Amino acid sequence: MEKTLVILKPDALQRRLIGKIISRFEEKGLQIVALKLLKMTEELAKRNYVQHEGRVFYEPLIRFMTSGPVVVCVLKGKEAVETARKMAGFTFGTKAEPGTIRGDYALSDRFNLIHVSDSIEAAQKEISIFFKEKELLEYEAVDYPWVYDVSQGVVV
């Protein structure tokens, strides 16, 4: 099972959308294995967004991500990275499809509610920025056999 990082950005908290957004991932069947509410420091934001350094939106992104509290969580499930990205929708709210998180709740390009890892490698790196290994909880989800077809002994 893959793990991915999701950050609910300051606008999601200010608009009181945390419960609605997290419930979408849970309803899909992704398992929450770590969750934190924190105020991102400039250093932490720069570490997470280092790949964008030098781009025109980098400094405004850092200011935005440090402007208020965020919720950082790790989700686990089959193809968790791709699934979470599809659920988040296109980066720009006005271009995101209805039914996605951004498509339903975002109109801005920068204030787009959610960050999701874009690859398995990025997810591993980003998770390590925000969580120690011991903070990732492994537990048996009782709905597991109802979310995944395990009738053949493997997840289908």
**82-94, pLDDT tens digit by residue?**
999 999 999 999 9
Helix (H, G, I), strand (E, B) or coil at 35: strand
Does the predicted TM-score (pTM) go above 0.85? yes
pLDDT for 134: 97
What residue ranges define each of the domains in the chain, with the CATH number in brackets? Answer: 2-139 (3.30.70.141)
C-alpha span between 95 and 118 (Å, rounded): 18
Q: Is 52 a catalytic residue?
A: no
What's the DSSP call for residue 67? S
Kindly name the residue from 3, 76, 102, 115 that is annotated as catalytic.
Answer: 115
pLDDT for 31: 97
